[in-house]
Amino acid sequence: MPHQKTYAAAFVDALLDSMSDDRMVTLIGSAPLGLGPERHLTEELRHQYPDRVLDPPTAEGGVASVGAGAAMAGARPFVDLLTGSFVYLAWTQIVNEAANGHYMSGGKLQVPVTYHCLEGVRGAGAPQHSQSPHAMLWNAPGVEIVIPSMASDVYGLIRTAIASPNPTMIFSHAKILGIESDVPPSRTPIPFGKADIKRHGRDVTIVALSICVHHALAAAVELAEEGIEAEVIDPRTLVPFDEETILASVKRTGRLVIADEVPQRASAASEIAATIAERGFDYLKAPISRVTRPDTPIPFSPALEQSLIPSARKIAEASRALCMYRNQ
Amino acid sequence: MNDEIRQRRWTFLKQMMLIRRFEEAVATAGAEKAFPGHYHLYIGQEATGVGAMAALGPSDKIATTHRNHGHVLARGADPEACLAEIMGRANGINRGRGGTIHLCDPELGFLQTSGVVGSVVGLAAGGGYACKLKGDGSLTAAFFGDGALEEGIAFECLNIAALWGLPVIFICENNSADALGMAKGGYPTLVHAANDLRSIPGSLGIEAIRVDGTEVEEVHRVVAHAAAHCRAGKGPLFIETVTRRWAGSAPLWPELATGITDIGMATGRTKIDDGPHSYWYRHNDPVLKLARQILQDDHSARMQIELLDEQTQAHMRAVVERVHQSPYPELATATDFVFAQGAA
Ligand SMILES: Cc1ncc(C[n+]2csc(CCOP(=O)(O)OP(=O)(O)O)c2C)c(N)n1
């Protein structure tokens, strides 16, 4: 019987099981759930593995480097880089060291490090605490990118990330930690590169990332009341990326909306749009629509902040517009 | 002097000569434009790499930088695979993916060989973390230039290593003593506010030692001390080895300003005149220096030294010949090795 769990609880389950399976798995950064109400859940990790949970100094580059070096030397660290905005300080260690290691050694070296951060517009973060580096990282070959949206996926994806022989970056949106969803009764890893169809529909495909999956599902309920059946697809991993599931869906619906909470230019939505335009042009009955942020830093003031980010309303509007397009 | 030390000196000389002749071959090939890109030679620093490697054990890990050829050879890598890598060939030690800046053999214990100045300090701290976790008495040694200490990552990771008591030997090869590079706008400690580099790790409570990096026995002794310190669980150590930027070397595209090394300058066969490099020949060149030390102990070693050098040169000539004839990687393999096999 499936039962409900929060994203945060499933996240911690994955770490506990990974640490119990392999003594080389350690946690560097003891607060991967941030400062929110779920943070107490990580106490169990420290309680069970006091020697394998470490609090590093405030040194994102150093911590990322230690993670990469430790992985090269045979450890399997899960490295928490805290707020996504600060991952830029670790950029050269992730992109230049971890991501290139296997390639520039000619396949001799493996770098099985897992990085994690809490990204996204978290509410009152102002420009410096609201960033999402996942799209920028997608431009760096050599890192697997995991972007779980719900409790049902986060356990299996983290297990796979930690077991992977490659560097992996997991992006959790700061606002989804407390959201509950059904988790499967058996705890199994989820293979990378397999998108999940979160809702089936025939009229429009909505590809949504992270928190936008929740907005898209809410939009789909709204649209269904109007007779529009939206299919909601969660890619779950950007690297590897499941083009086939999206292509097959667009072939059925003929319409594609992509929702991604990052500035529009060179967003993940842009890359997905380009891919489908290249490979699925003949299926399209309307132009592809991107629901993203404008190319603007995120303001502090709550109403301004809210006006800039993707929402169920904006996704529903974009979907409606595509369905109207047919009739023009 | 006991036999063990005598024997070790010969091993050191053999390795240092191999590195010297290898680097001369690289510079010659570079001048002939036989391979593209800029490169950094280890000439003048051989005593540091060779002395330090000899103090490490087989399961110890090593991280190094753009100036890595000497480290990889001193650890026992095949010179042919190394030269083939520098020349971008399929039989290169990294199948032509890394080139001169990234010679790396994980089977010999190498972690990354990084061209990002400063990164090695951090990766080595990570290596030390893994060694400590394994609890098998292994350690990680980092080789980097004084320039690495200009980057923030070095401070961050020295701090972490000190805080967590990680078994890491941080070996800073300061090649800016008497640097001609200084006058040429190179990368000496001129651009460092700290005059004594030991004060940087020292401020974090890390024991820091300075040693003459042209004295192979001295380097070996100090690194062996550091290794014992790490293995006893006493945390990291920092060693500054003072070497000289090889006379006339340009930082990026080195020319052989002092010419091909003439071992006769150590054995007395060749007279050293008072030209611009005479101080280098008489006092700074670590290979000539070690050969003289061996001779001082045993005057009859002259023939043996010259023979060793001839054999090394012949070996390198054959290596160069074969590498020039070895094929480049197949173009269809250019996108291989982005991800490790068995990826989820
Ligand atoms: C992050 C970074 N910035 C700049 C460079 C360019 N660069 C290559 S070698 C070098 C100087 C390194 O000096 P040092 O560490 O003293 O080593 P040396 O070459 O003198 O042995 C620099 C700045 C680089 N490789 N990486």
pLDDT higher than threshold 90 for residue B184: no
pLDDT value at residue A180: 97
- A141 in reach of chain B (CB within 8 A): yes
pLDDT value at residue B187: 44
Q: Which residues of A are catalytic?
A: 60, 129
The C-alpha atoms of residue A115 and residue A94 are separated, in whole angstroms, by 9
Atom index in ligand 1 nearest the CA of residue B147 equals 15
3-state SS, residue A137: helix
Q: Are B133 and A25 in contact (CB under 8 A)?
A: no
Q: Which among A57, A66, A160 has the least Cβ separation from residue B122?
A: A66
Least confidently predicted of A60-64, B31-35, B305-309: B31-35
pLDDT higher than threshold 50 for residue B185: no
Ligand 1 pocket: which of B187, B189, B191, B252 to mutate (most atoms within 8 A of CB): B187
Kindly report, residue by residue over B72-120, the tens digit of the pLDDT. 999 999 999 999 999 999 999 999 999 999 999 999 999 999 999 999 9
Is there a contact between B153 and A65 if contact means CB atoms under 8 Å apart?
yes
Domain boundaries, chain A: 3-183, 196-324
- A210 in reach of chain B (CB within 8 A): no
The C-alpha atoms of residue A176 and residue A121 are separated, in whole angstroms, by 11
3-state SS, residue A47: helix
Touching B: A residues 42-61, CB under 8 Å: 54, 56-57, 59, 61
- Matching fold, domains A3-183 and A196-324: yes
Phi-psi region of A227 (alpha: psi -120 to 50; beta: other; left: phi over 0): left
Please give, rounded to a whole number of angstroms, the shortest distance from the CA of A210 to a CA of chain B. Answer: 20
User: What is the fold of A3-183?
Assistant: Rossmann fold (3.40.50)
Nearest 10 degrees: Cα torsion A184, A185, A186, A192? 10
Q: Which residues of A touch B64 (CB under 8 A)?
A: none
pLDDT value at residue B249: 73
Is B244 a pocket residue for ligand 1 (Cβ < 6 Å)?
no
pLDDT higher than threshold 60 for residue A328: no
Torsion sign over Cα B187, B192, B195, B198: negative
Residue B64: domain span: 25-255+310-328
Best of A18, A30, A65, A145 to disrupt the B interface by mutation (most B CBs within 10 Å)?
A65
pLDDT higher than threshold 50 for residue B172: yes
B255: confidence class by pLDDT, cuts 50, 70, 90 = confident
CA of B147 to the centre of ligand 1 (A): 6
The C-alpha atoms of residue A219 and residue A320 are separated, in whole angstroms, by 10
Touching B: A residues 298-327, CB under 8 Å: none
CATH 3.30.300.160 fits A196-324, yes or no: no
Residue of A nearest to B114 (CA): A97
The C-alpha atoms of residue A278 and residue A29 are separated, in whole angstroms, by 41
Q: Are B230 and B261 in contact (CB under 8 A)?
A: no
Is there a contact between B111 and A73 if contact means CB atoms under 8 Å apart?
yes
pLDDT top residue among B248 and A244: A244
Quick one: average pLDDT of B312-325? 98
Is B40 a pocket residue for ligand 1 (Cβ < 6 Å)?
yes
Domains in chain B: how many in total? 1
What rounded mean pLDDT belongs to chain A? 97
pLDDT value at residue B257: 85
Is there a contact between B119 and A24 if contact means CB atoms under 8 Å apart?
no
- Smallest CA separation from ligand 1 atom 12, residue: B147
B53-56: list long-range contacts, CB under 8 Å, 24+ apart.
Answer: B54/B8, B54/B11, B54/B12, B54/B220, B55/B220, B55/B223, B55/B224, B55/B226, B55/B227, B56/B109, B56/B139, B56/B141, B56/B223, B56/B227
B343: confidence class by pLDDT, cuts 50, 70, 90 = very low
B189: confidence class by pLDDT, cuts 50, 70, 90 = low
Is B145 a pocket residue for ligand 1 (Cβ < 6 Å)?
yes
Residue B291 counted as domain residue: no
B183: confidence class by pLDDT, cuts 50, 70, 90 = very low
Q: Are B72 and B82 in contact (CB under 8 A)?
A: yes
- Smallest CA separation from ligand 1 atom 5, residue: B117
The C-alpha atoms of residue B311 and residue B316 are separated, in whole angstroms, by 9
- ipTM value: 0.94
The C-alpha atoms of residue B209 and residue B197 are separated, in whole angstroms, by 10
Q: What percentage of residues in chain B have a pLDDT greater than 90? A: 85
pLDDT value at residue B190: 64
- The amino acid occupying position A8 is A
Q: Which among A65, A104, A166 has the least Cβ separation from residue B157?
A: A65
Residue B283 counted as domain residue: no
Q: Are B37 and B253 in contact (CB under 8 A)?
A: no
Q: Which among A69, A93, A166 has the least Cβ separation from residue B339?
A: A166
CATH number where B106 lies: 3.40.50.970
Best of B129, B155, B170 to disrupt the A interface by mutation (most A CBs within 10 Å)?
B129
Kindly report, residue by residue over A200-217, the tens digit of the pLDDT. 999 999 999 999 999 999
pLDDT higher than threshold 80 for residue B340: yes
A281: confidence class by pLDDT, cuts 50, 70, 90 = very high
B251: confidence class by pLDDT, cuts 50, 70, 90 = confident
Residue of A nearest to B90 (CA): A106
The C-alpha atoms of residue B67 and residue B79 are separated, in whole angstroms, by 15
The C-alpha atoms of residue A136 and residue B211 are separated, in whole angstroms, by 44
Tokens coding B120: 């090695």
Is there a contact between B153 and A56 if contact means CB atoms under 8 Å apart?
no
Atom index in ligand 1 nearest the CA of residue B144 equals 15
pLDDT value at residue B179: 54
CA of B129 to the centre of ligand 1 (A): 25
CA of B150 to the centre of ligand 1 (A): 10
Is there a contact between B133 and A24 if contact means CB atoms under 8 Å apart?
yes
Is there a contact between B94 and A144 if contact means CB atoms under 8 Å apart?
no
pTM of the model: 0.95
Q: E strand or H helix at B200, and its extent?
A: helix B199-202
What rounded mean pLDDT belongs to chain B? 93
Atom index in ligand 1 nearest the CA of residue B119 equals 1
Is there a contact between A107 and B159 if contact means CB atoms under 8 Å apart?
no
Is B116 a pocket residue for ligand 1 (Cβ < 6 Å)?
yes
CA of B113 to the centre of ligand 1 (A): 13
B252: confidence class by pLDDT, cuts 50, 70, 90 = confident
Q: Which among B61, B97, B124 has the least Cβ separation from residue A106?
A: B97
Residue of B nearest to A90 (CA): B153
Is there a contact between B125 and A66 if contact means CB atoms under 8 Å apart?
yes
